Amino acid sequence: MRTWVAPGRVNIIGEHTDYNDGYVLPIALPLVTRCAAAPRTDGSVRVGSRQRPGEPVLVAVSDLAAERARMPGWARYPLGVVAEFIRRGHRIPGVDLDLDGAVPIGAGLSSSAALSCAVAIALRDLFAPGLTDRTLIDVARAAENDYVGAPTGLLDQSAAMLCTAGHALLLDVRAFAADTAAPRGSGHEQIPFDLAAFGLELLVIDTGQPHELADGRYAERRDQCAAAAAALGAGTLRDVTVTDVGRIADDVLRRRARHVVTENARVLAVAEKLRRSADPRGIGPILTAGHASLRDDFEVSTPALDAAVDAALAAGAHGARMVGGGFGGSVVALVDQDRTATVVEAVRRRFAGEGLPEPRTFVVVPAAGAHRIG
């Protein structure tokens, strides 16, 4: 067997903008999902996971579509990628897939895209070596949308495939989605993101409250965004201004749209500050403003996420915000290296005082996208 890896991601800024044709700014994490893969000749797909010992799945390639409903939830991600390859006309006579994930599940760090992209790049190298990274992004997203039932945008899969070490990925989703033929797609730019040079760290605070994109609330937000755009006669909220937002009569739809429009502006502002090699401390207030918007206008935060943000800021973080789809997951905080331990302790004390489980905390640096390691 050979082995491929794909990383989780943290979004510096840009939540719920990807499916609105907007802008996002993620980095890849050093935490990865590993996929060891080898061809089979018996027409079967076998999937095993180190996190699910004793629960291997074996299904005939020809039965992937028909058997989807009876597959365990965790196995639908890799099986969905296999099914999507076959749907697109690529011949897979059978394959063994052994998985091992280090990206925390349900933490808003895109463990699902790491899994899907690790499998996609393995299948590409084994069975369809001519496919581009851009095509694999589409394959992985289609697998999550259609086989799993999680209506994700392009953000997570693009970050897992395209991020590079030491950089944040500025993705213009509209431009990127329109250029499906380019080897790596257009509409994206690698932005240097070297916090250590300024004595800073990016701290991730996993609240331990998992979120689930397939539970309906994420899809509801997508529908509300589409309805807000339609109320203004726009194709997507990418084409809407803050002034336009004020014309939306429905209060909920107006607030949803206001988040997306202002979040796009925040992404571009952060990218510009980083491009100028300015002190990254300057992006801190923008991150915090993004959290307030997600909490108040988009209503996807939780008391635990709010507590983590508030405690981190009170302990000296330059900025903090929830990351991911919301309704649980993690917070990122921009902190001075010599204050990281203080911020961590402050968050732990806050959680203990509110009867919340102890959070998991770790520092991350921008890592590489999906690749083969052996």
Positions marked active-site? 156
Task: Provide the strand spans (E) within the chain.
Answer: 2-13, 23-39, 44-49, 57-60, 95-101, 167-172, 188-192, 200-206, 319-323, 330-336, 360-364, 371-372
Integer Cα distance of 203 and 120 in angstroms: 29
pLDDT higher than 50, residue 372: yes
Confidence of residue 186 (pLDDT cuts 50, 70, 90): confident
Q: Give the rounded percent of residues in the chain with a pLDDT score beyond 90.
A: 88
pLDDT of residue 163: 97
**Across 169-178, 190-199, 203-212, least confident range:** 203-212
pLDDT at 227: 98
Contacts of 328 (CB under 8 A, 6+ apart): 106, 108, 207, 209, 210, 211, 302, 304, 305
pLDDT band at 108 (very low <50, low <70, confident <90, very high): confident
Angle among Cα 372, 171, 200 to the nearest 5 degrees reads 80
The pLDDT value recorded for residue 183 is 46
Q: Which residue has the tokens 């590079």?
A: 164
Whole-angstrom Cα distance, residue 189 to residue 270? 13
Alpha-carbon distance values, 92 to 72, 144, 309, 338 (Å): 22, 19, 47, 52
Which candidate, 195, 193, 159, places its Cα nearest to that of 32? 159
Shortest CA distance to 333 belongs to which of 307, 352, 355? 307
Dist. CA 243–CA 246, nearest whole Å: 6
Question: Is the CB of residue 114 less than 8 Å from the CB of residue 180?
Answer: no
Banded model confidence at residue 41, pLDDT cuts 50, 70, 90: very high
CA distance 2 to 109: 25
Average pLDDT, the chain: 94
Of the listed ranges 208-212, 320-324, 339-343, 348-352, the least confidently predicted one is 208-212
Cα–Cα distance measured from residue 154 to residue 177, given in angstroms and rounded to the nearest whole number: 8
Q: pLDDT digits over 276-328, tens only? A: 988 999 999 999 999 999 999 999 999 999 999 999 999 999 999 999 889 99
Euclidean distance between the first and final Cα of the chain, in Å? 9
* DSSP bridge partners of 45: 59, 95
Using pLDDT thresholds of 50, 70 and 90, give the confidence band for residue 215: low
Which pLDDT score, from 0 to 100, does residue 212 have? 61
Task: Quote the DSSP letter at residue 280.
Answer: G
Q: What percent of the chain has pLDDT over 70?
A: 97
> What's the average model confidence in pLDDT over 139-143?
96
Mean pLDDT computed over 206-230? 86
Structure tokens at 293: 């918007």
Q: What is the pTM of this model?
A: 0.92
Bridge-based pairing state of the strands 167-172 and 188-192: antiparallel
- The CA distance from 142 to 85, in Å, is 10
Joined together, the tokens standing for residue 90 give 């690529």
DSSP reduced 3-state for 204: strand
| pLDDT number for residue 105 | 86
Q: What is the predicted pLDDT for the residue at 151?
A: 82
| Structure confidence at residue 218 (pLDDT) | 85
Q: Concatenate the DSSP letters of all residues of 121-168 into one string.
A: HHHHHHH-TT--HHHHHHHHHHIIIIII-----SHHHHHHHH--TTEE
| Per-residue pLDDT, 189 | 96
Q: What pLDDT score does 157 carry?
A: 95
